[in-house]
């Protein structure tokens, strides 16, 4: 069995044994989903062109999915391990240091699949319909989970660079500007020029747009390709930076 599998299995076990680390991360997406729908549904009825005949829940669901998977949970687990000294134990084992990162990311994938499925089910219960059908729902869950894996690199990077629990926890805050400088409430063309420019420069916008297209429009290859590209590029960059940080980590 490879070291990545072993470390991944351990990290996944941690997800199930520490539900208190995951459950709170579901509160914010579900809270925002309920509140936003409650506040804006009447303003944007299903006849609104950008809703493609759905209620506003379909438009908001991708934003909540982003919220559900963008956490610093892995970074926090890693920095706790550094704090406890177990990280040193792993560093002196004859393994590639990168496997510690990949093991953690494996757990992020499992966590992301679980939380995005749950948020999707809540969205469906609130009236959302997936225009691309069941296959689209599966792709939506996978893309969301993969975005969570890509985003986890921020927490891991901060954990390795700072070795500080508070700083790692605070890295979660990075997501607020990333999420709110997007077409999260209305499409690009309804934003003010400045906000639109910022949103178009923000890669998270394209992840939301891609996932949203599966819900509202069906299969839109262009949007999905850009979404997949952003996820891959972000994942590769942040994972590469995390691997670099762990390779150069001096105990």
Residue 95 contacts another protein per CB under 8 A: yes
- Output the DSSP codes for 60-122: HHHHHHHHHH--SHHHHHHHHHHHHTHHHHHHTSSS-THHHHHHHHHHHHHHHHHHHHHHHHH
By CB under 8 A, name the one of 28, 30, 34, 90 that touches another protein. Answer: 90
CB 166 within 8 A of CB 249: no
Q: Environment class of residue 85 by beta-carbon count within 10 Å: exposed (0-12), middle (13-18) or buried (19+)?
A: exposed
Q: Measured at the alpha carbon of residue 5, what is the angle toward residues 138 and 83, in degrees to the nearest 5?
A: 105
C-alpha Rg value of the chain to the nearest Å: 19
Q: Which stretch binds another protein (CB under 8 A): 5-13, 169-177, 212-220, 223-231?
A: 5-13
Contact map string, positions 212 to 231, toward another protein, x by CB under 8 A: --------------------
Residue 248 C-beta: closest distance to another protein, Å: 10
Closer by beta carbon to another protein, 5 or else 43? 5
**Among 9-17, 165-173, 177-185, 214-222, the segment contacting another protein (CB under 8 A):** 9-17
Residue 6 lies near another protein (rule: CB under 8 A): yes
Q: Is 84 a residue that touches another protein (CB under 8 A)?
A: yes
DSSP 8-state class, residue 131: T
The C-alpha atoms of residue 212 and residue 207 are separated, in whole angstroms, by: 8
Contact status: 129 vs another protein (CB under 8 A): no
**If binding is defined by CB under 8 A, does position 13 make contact with another protein?**
yes
Angle of helix 3-17 relative to helix 73-84, nearest 10 degrees, comes to 100
Binding of residue 244 to another protein (CB under 8 A)? no
251 binds another protein (CB under 8 A): yes
Does 19 contact another protein by CB under 8 A? no
Contact footprint for another protein (CB under 8 A): 1, 3, 6-7, 10, 13-14, 17-18, 81, 84-95, 250-251
């Amino acid at each position: 069995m490879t070291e990545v599998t072993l470390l991944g299995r351990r990290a996944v076990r941690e997800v199930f044994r520490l539900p208190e680390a995951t459950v709170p991360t579901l509160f914010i997406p579900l809270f925002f989903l309920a509140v936003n729908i409650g506040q804006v549904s009447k303003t944007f009825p299903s006849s609104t062109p950008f809703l493609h005949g759905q209620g506003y829940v379909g438009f908001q669901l991708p934003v909540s999915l982003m919220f559900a998977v963008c956490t610093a949970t892995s970074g926090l687990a890693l920095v706790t391990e550094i704090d406890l000294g177990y990280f040193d134990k792993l560093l002196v084992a004859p393994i590639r240091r990168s496997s510690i990162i990949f093991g953690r990311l494996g757990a992020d994938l499992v966590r992301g699949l679980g939380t995005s499925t749950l948020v999707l089910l809540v969205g469906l219960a609130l009236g959302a319909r997936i225009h691309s059908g069941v296959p689209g729902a599966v792709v939506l869950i996978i893309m969301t989970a993969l975005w969570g894996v890509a985003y986890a690199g921020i927490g891991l990077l901060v954990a390795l660079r700072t070795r500080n629990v508070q700083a790692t926890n605070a890295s979660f805050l990075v997501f607020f500007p990333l999420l709110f400088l997007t077409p999260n409430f209305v499409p690009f063309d309804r934003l003010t020029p400045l906000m639109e420019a910022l949103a178009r420069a923000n890669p998270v916008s394209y992840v939301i747009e891609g996932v949203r297209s599966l819900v509202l429009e069906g299969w839109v290859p262009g949007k999905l390709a850009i979404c997949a590209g952003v996820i891959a590029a972000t994942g590769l960059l942040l994972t590469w930076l995390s691997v670099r940080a762990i390779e150069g980590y001096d105990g």
